[in-house]
Every structure is written in structure tokens, then in C-alpha cells.
Copies of this chain bind each other. A is one copy, B any other.
Amino acid sequence: MKIHNFSAGPAILPQYVLEASAAAVQDFANSGLSILEMSHRSKEIVAVMEEAEKLVKELLHLGDDYAVLFLTGGASSQFYMVPMNLLNEGEKGCYIDTGAWSAKAIKEVSNFGQVEALASSKETTYNYIPKDWTLPSDAKYLHITSNNTIYGTQYHDMPNPDCMLIADMSSEIFSRNFDATQFDLIYAGAQKNLGPAGTTLVIVKKEILGKVQRTVPTMLDYQTHIKKASAFNTPPVYPIYVCLLTLRWLQAKGGVAAMEAINKQKAALLYDEIDRNPIFKGTAAVEDRSMMNVTFVANNKAHEAAFMEYCTANGISGIKGHRSVGGFRASIYNAMPQESVAFLVELMQNFKPE
């Protein structure tokens, strides 16, 4: 049975990426060696790092005023690295609280500076993106979580504040057109739209760095990794290589603009069915619906177990909603084929609760 992988992350990867990833474990670049056992200083691996960095810049139309890093530690490590590298004591980082991940980011700031949550949708289980807030004049940066995996919400208009703008784009990077040059720092754990677990993409405007007074541990200073092109220490070679394969696939598909067009179609297919089908309803505010994570519940809670069983029996995997929202979450990242979304819609149409 074909498995349709709707997992929120680690998540589906393109078939081309999986095939090339497996081949590289057996013999990489005709070296006679597995990519898993090759020195990160070898010309083959240095070429991987360079091409990955170059493709990120090309896909996001970024110039040399930005650095592209492949770090470890997940987006969770960026929660403290951002204030550690950007806030002096007494300086203020501002956050919009749009979910559990925003809240975790907020929690790490006070070790390094002041923190202010400008708005939160926590009271309604984060089912919308707050738009009604005022940036304080002493804000050093504004931090947003541009797509909220758990709740299925997404910024459709990015803020444009009078301070640095920082975004956690883990679950949407490369899924749609946006002006990356409006951002000072973007980070994304790879395991949603980019690759497997094990590396975190960080895109940073170089001029914002080196301005804090504190001594930052060598490994936690973005500048350390910029100087050494992400290879100050041994980088997570294989996860980065799988990201590179995805970046190549993205470029061959026509880049981010082409991907956005496909993603819009896929999301529309699913949201249309949710809105049409009397058995289901969406959980996120319509104007903030995510193109990546589609959250919905059954109008009658009692029908959820049966639909889950029906999905599982038909090869739909990873569609269970997060416990805080319940119901279902279909993650339809870049690599998700339209046919799989259509197949899920078909199951929704055919589902007859007892």
C-alpha cells in the first residue's frame, strides 16, 4: 500500500531527494566512499556546503550582505542564540505570541535582555494571528513565528517594523514568495520543508552582528560560523546534503514562486473540502489559514476516531492533530504531491460516519 505522509515533521521529502540520499550513503560523487564516512574538509563535502549556501541565496534573492549557515540544535537553539547575539542587557526583544513555539522563544530572552510579548492569541488556542499591536519605540527587534505548525495559522502579510525583523520560518521556508531582504534574521529547522532532522538553516544580515557586549561562547556566536562557512567544527554533513538535494529539486521546479502556485492549489483543494463537507470544520481563522498545515476537526467529536481509522486503513499517515488542538492536521509541505491531497479529499468525501 502506498503511504501518504502528512506528518508535521520530520516530514515528507521529494522522491528524487530520497533516491539520491540513499545512493550517496552507498557511494558519494564516485569517490568509492559513503558520504557518511567522508571528511568535511574533502573537496566533495566542501562543494556540498558551498552549493547549499549558494542555492539558498539564489532561491531567496539574497546578496552578500547576508550569510547563510547550516547549524545544529534545531530552531529551539535559535530561541536563545537570537537574544544572546543581538540584545545587550537592558535592550528589548519584542515577540508576537502565536503558539507554543513563540512561547518557548519568549521564555529564553530574559537571560540576556528585556522581553515584551506585544500580542498573543493564546486564549483562543492560538487560532489566529494577532494584528492589533503597537511596537514600543525601544524595540531592538520584532520576532515572529511566520507559520504555526500546531495551529495551522500563517502570516499572510509580514510585519514591517521600525526595528530588526526576525522570523522562525521552520515550517514554511521556501514555500512561498516573500521579500527576504525585509528580514534581519530568519531561521528554520530543516525537518519540515527542507530536509531531515539534524540541521537548522540560519540566514542573517551580517551587519547586525558583533554589537553585543557580552562574551558569547565560541560555538554560539554566529560570526564563528560565518567566518568558517558553517565548518568551524564538523557540520552535520548528511543532513546538509539532503537539504542541498531539496534545494536543487526546488530550483528545478521553478523556485519559490512556482512552489507557491502549487502550494496554493493544494491548500485550496483541502480547505474547499473542509468548508464544503458538513462532517468537518477548520480550526484556524479563515484569513490566517496556513498553506502548510491544515488543521480541522469533526463537528461531531465522536466521528474522529472512525475517520482516523479510515485514514490509516487507506495509507494516510501522520494526520493526527496536535493534542492541544485535537482532530486532524494535514501537513502539505512542498514535497507533498497534489495527488496525495486529492486522495485525502476523496477519503473525506467518501467517509460515512455510522
Which of A11, A215, A232, A234 has the most chain B CB atoms inside 10 A of its CB? A234
The answer to the question of A13 belonging to the interface, with a C-beta cut-off of 8 Å to chain B, is: yes
A275 to chain B, nearest CB (A): 28
- Shortest C-beta distance, A235 to chain B (Å), equals 7
Q: Does A327 count as interface, using CB distance less than 8 angstroms?
A: no
Q: Which of B74, B218, B219, B236 is the one whose CB lies under 8 Å from A233?
A: B74
A233 near B196 with CB under 8 A, answer no
Query: By the criterion of a CB under 8 Å from any partner CB, how many residues of chain A are at the interface?
Result: 64
User: What is the CA–CA distance of A39 and B25 in the complex, to the nearest angstrom?
Assistant: 21
CB distance from A39 to the nearest CB of B (A): 5
Q: CB-CB contacts of A39-70 with B at 8 A, as 1s and 0s?
A: 11010000000000000000000000000000
Which residues on the B side are within 8 Å of A108 (C-beta)? Answer: 217-218
Asked if A25 contacts B33 (CB within 8 A), the reply is no
Give, as a whole number of angstroms, the nearest-CB distance from A325 to chain B.
Answer: 15
From A39, which residue of chain B is reached at the shortest CB distance?
B7
**Chain B residues, Cβ within 8 Å of A233:** 74-76
A2 at the interface (CB under 8 A from B): yes
Interface pairs (21), CB distance under 8 Å: A2-B32, A5-B37, A10-B40, A10-B237, A11-B37, A18-B34, A21-B34, A22-B23, A36-B196, A72-B74, A73-B73, A73-B219, A74-B219, A77-B219, A80-B218, A84-B217, A189-B234, A197-B237, A198-B198, A198-B238, A238-B239
